Structure 1
Amino acid sequence: MDDDAPRRTVPIKLDVPEQRRGDLHQTKAQFLHCANRTSEWAWRYDDYCITSKSKAEDTLYDDLREETDLTANLVQKGIRRAIQAVTGGVEKLKKGEKTSQPHFDSWSVVYDKRSATFNADHATLSTPNGRVTAEYVLPPVDEREDTPFGQYYESDDWDASSATLQYDEQEGTFFLHVTLKNPDYEVDGTERQEAELPDDHEKNGTVLGVDLNVTGALAVTSTGAFIGSADYLNHKRDQYEQRRGKLQQTGTRSAHLTIKSIGSAFSEWSLDWLHNRVNDLIAEAHNADVDGIIFENLDYIRENIANGSKFQQWAYTKFVELIQYKVESTALFVDFVNPAYTSQRCSHCGFTHEDNRDDKQFACQDCGYEANADYNAAKNIANRYCGYIHRGQKSRGGWATSQLALKSGTLNVNGDYTPTELLG
Structure 2
Amino acid sequence: MDDALRRTVPVKLDVPEERRGDLHQTKAQFLHCANRTSEWAWRYDDYCVTNKSKAENALYDELREETDLTANLVQKGIRRAIEAVQSGVEKLKQGEQTSQPEFDSWSVVYDKRSASFNDDYATLSTPDGRVTAEYVLPPEDEREDTPFGRYYESEAWDASIATLQYDEQEDAFYLHVTLKNPNYEGDGTERQESESRSEGAENGVVLGVDLNVTGAFAVTSTGEFIGSADSLTHKRNQYEQRRAKLQQTGTRSAHLTMQSIGSRLSDWSLDWLHNRANDLITEAQDADVDGIIFETLDHIRENIANGSKFQQWAYAKFVELVEYKVESTELFVDTVNPAYTSQRCSHCGFTHEDNRDDKAFECQSCGYEVNADYNAAKNIANRYCGYIHRGQKSRGGWATSQLALKSGTLSVNGDYTPTELLG
Q: Same fold (TM over 0.5)?
A: yes
Between the aligned partners of 1:110 and 1:356, the Cα distance in structure 2 is: 44
Listed as ranges, the gaps of 5+ residues in structure 1 are: 15-20, 62-72, 186-198
Equivalent position amino acid for 1:223 in 2: T
Question: What is the aligned partner in structure 1 of residue 7 from structure 2?
Answer: 10
Secondary structure, aligned partner of 2:414 = coil
Listed as ranges, the gaps of 5+ residues in structure 2 are: 41-58, 89-96, 125-130, 186-197
Question: What is the aligned partner in structure 2 of residue 191 from structure 1?
Answer: none
Q: Does 1:242 align with 2:244?
A: no
> Contact (CA 8 Å) 1:206, 1:402: kept in 2 or not?
yes
Provide the alpha-carbon RMSD of the alignment: 4.7
Residue 261 of structure 1 and its aligned partner are, at CA, apart by 2.1
> Contact (CA 8 Å) 1:11, 1:175: kept in 2 or not?
no
- Any idea what the Cα deviations from partners look like across 1:62-98, whole Å, max 9, x if unmatched? xxxxxxxxxxx8x986x888898999999x9xx9979
Between the aligned partners of 2:349 and 2:291, the Cα distance in structure 1 is: 23
Task: Single out whichever of 129-138 and 405-414 deviates more from structure 2.
Answer: 129-138
Equivalent position amino acid for 2:26 in 1: A
Between the aligned partners of 2:394 and 2:81, the Cα distance in structure 1 is: 34
Residue 251 of structure 1 and its aligned partner are, at CA, apart by 2.6
Indicate how the Cα distance of structure 1 residues 313 and 10 shifts in structure 2: closer, same or farther if over 3 A, else same: same
> Contact (CA 8 Å) 1:39, 1:102: kept in 2 or not?
no
Q: Does 1:372 align with 2:363?
A: no
Indicate how the Cα distance of structure 1 residues 32 and 9 shifts in structure 2: closer, same or farther if over 3 A, else same: farther
Question: What is the aligned partner in structure 1 of residue 268 from structure 2?
Answer: 269
Residue 387 of structure 1 and its aligned partner are, at CA, apart by 0.7
Between the aligned partners of 2:84 and 2:173, the Cα distance in structure 1 is: 32
Question: What is the aligned partner in structure 1 of residue 26 from structure 2?
Answer: 35
Between the aligned partners of 1:240 and 1:213, the Cα distance in structure 2 is: 21
Q: Does 1:54 align with 2:64?
A: yes
Indicate how the Cα distance of structure 1 residues 348 and 88 shifts in structure 2: closer, same or farther if over 3 A, else same: closer
Between the aligned partners of 2:250 and 2:233, the Cα distance in structure 1 is: 26
Equivalent position amino acid for 2:360 in 1: Q
Between the aligned partners of 2:361 and 2:174, the Cα distance in structure 1 is: 46
Between the aligned partners of 1:327 and 1:308, the Cα distance in structure 2 is: 29
Q: Does 1:177 align with 2:177?
A: yes
> Contact (CA 8 Å) 1:13, 1:137: kept in 2 or not?
no
Indicate how the Cα distance of structure 1 residues 284 and 44 shifts in structure 2: closer, same or farther if over 3 A, else same: closer
Question: What is the aligned partner in structure 2 of residue 258 from structure 1?
Answer: 257
Residue 302 of structure 1 and its aligned partner are, at CA, apart by 2.2
Residue 272 of structure 1 and its aligned partner are, at CA, apart by 1.3
Between the aligned partners of 2:304 and 2:348, the Cα distance in structure 1 is: 29
Question: What is the aligned partner in structure 2 of residue 331 from structure 1?
Answer: 330
Question: What is the aligned partner in structure 1 of residue 115 from structure 2?
Answer: 115
Equivalent position amino acid for 2:310 in 1: F
Question: What is the aligned partner in structure 2 of residue 188 from structure 1?
Answer: none
Residue 230 of structure 1 and its aligned partner are, at CA, apart by 0.3
- Any idea what the Cα deviations from partners look like across 1:100-150, whole Å, max 9, x if unmatched? 99464x8x89563563246xxx5653386676697795569xxx9xxxx69
Question: What is the aligned partner in structure 2 of residue 70 from structure 1?
Answer: none
Residue 396 of structure 1 and its aligned partner are, at CA, apart by 3.3
Task: Single out whichever of 95-104 and 347-356 deviates more from structure 2.
Answer: 95-104
Secondary structure, aligned partner of 2:217 = strand
Equivalent position amino acid for 2:122 in 1: L
> Contact (CA 8 Å) 1:6, 1:181: kept in 2 or not?
no
Question: What is the aligned partner in structure 1 of residue 49 from structure 2?
Answer: none
Equivalence map 1:192-203=2 (5 Å): 202-203=201-202
Residue 258 of structure 1 and its aligned partner are, at CA, apart by 2.2
> Contact (CA 8 Å) 1:35, 1:82: kept in 2 or not?
no
Between the aligned partners of 1:31 and 1:178, the Cα distance in structure 2 is: 23
Between the aligned partners of 2:242 and 2:19, the Cα distance in structure 1 is: 43
Q: Does 1:298 align with 2:297?
A: yes
Between the aligned partners of 1:131 and 1:343, the Cα distance in structure 2 is: 30
> Contact (CA 8 Å) 1:113, 1:161: kept in 2 or not?
no
Equivalent position amino acid for 1:126 in 2: T
Residue 240 of structure 1 and its aligned partner are, at CA, apart by 1.6
Between the aligned partners of 2:164 and 2:207, the Cα distance in structure 1 is: 30
Between the aligned partners of 1:44 and 1:275, the Cα distance in structure 2 is: 31
Q: What's the TM-score, normalizing by structure 1?
A: 0.69
